[in-house]
């Protein structure tokens, strides 16, 4: 599991206070999309960006980067369902550049991200092998203690 010290409670106002003024309007829109797809209680701040991690599985979130915002669509089911649509925006396996392409508006890209977040909210996410092993150990210990 990632260091707990890197996770902090999420509030839109608190997060937006960390975003540069020129990027704040777009960051607000991304917050709204994430909050529409997931209960606010499921959203945390990890190393400065909003992310949803459930049961050690990274599901969705976004980060404001110097080259523009990146949406994280970590749900394999989302990539299966929407991979073709997301492909032109992908950088890496699950990083979606929130930038319009030729002839598009930012609203087109945000609508795509909104659908990806909604799809991800219905499924699990990705988990690293070390976290998977740790989760299985924790589940086995819990199962063992309930039998006793």
Is pLDDT above 50 for 1?
A: no
119 close to 75: Cβ distance less than 8 angstroms? yes
Q: Tens digit of pLDDT for each residue in 37-82?
A: 999 999 999 989 999 988 778 899 999 998 899 999 888 889 899 9
What distance in Å separates the CA atoms of residue 144 and residue 9, rounded to the nearest whole number?
31
**Nearest one of 33, 69, 52 to 125, comparing CA atoms:** 52
CA distance 96 to 117: 11
Q: Which residue has the higher pLDDT, 1 or 146?
A: 146
CA 115 to chain centre: 13
pLDDT at position 71 is 95
Distance CA 37, CA 53 (A): 13
Q: How many CA atoms lie within 13 A of 129 on its CB side?
A: 0
Could you tell me if 9 and 45 are in contact, meaning their C-beta atoms sit under 8 angstroms apart?
yes
Q: Report whether pLDDT(137) > 80.
A: no
Percentage helix, strand, coil for the chain under 3-state DSSP, each rounded to 5: 50, 20, 25
CATH code at position 76: 3.90.1150.200
Say whether pLDDT at 147 is over 80.
Answer: no
List pLDDT tens digits, range 16-38. Answer: 999 999 999 999 999 999 999 99
Q: How many CB atoms lie within 10 A of CB 110?
A: 19
Q: What is the pLDDT of residues 86-135, one digit of tens each?
A: 999 998 788 999 999 888 999 999 999 999 999 999 987 766 666 656 76
pLDDT of amino acid 94: 83
Counted domains in the chain: 1
Q: How confident is the model at residue 146 (pLDDT cuts 50, 70, 90)?
A: confident
Q: Are 106 and 26 in contact (CB under 8 A)?
A: yes
* Residue scoring higher pLDDT (32 or 3): 32
Report the alpha-carbon distance of residue 10 to residue 23 in Å, rounded: 18
Q: Which domain holds residue 19?
A: 4-147
Q: 53 near 34, Cβ under 8 Å?
A: no
């Amino acid at each position: 599991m990632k260091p707990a010290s890197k996770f902090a409670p999420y509030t839109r106002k608190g997060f937006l206070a960390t975003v540069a003024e020129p990027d704040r309007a777009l960051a607000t829109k991304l917050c709204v999309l994430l909050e529409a797809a997931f209960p606010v209680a499921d959203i945390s701040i990890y190393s400065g960006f909003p992310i949803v991690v459930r049961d050690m599985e990274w599901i969705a979130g976004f980060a404001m980067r110097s080259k523009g915002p990146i949406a994280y669509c970590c749900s394999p089911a989302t990539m299966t369902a929407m991979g073709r649509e997301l492909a032109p925006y992908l950088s890496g396996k699950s990083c979606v550049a929130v930038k319009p392409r030729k002839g598009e508006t930012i609203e087109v890209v945000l609508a795509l991200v909104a659908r990806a977040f909604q799809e991800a909210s219905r499924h699990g996410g990705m988990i690293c092998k070390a976290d998977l092993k740790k989760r299985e150990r924790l589940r086995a210990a819990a199962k063992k203690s309930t039998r006793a």
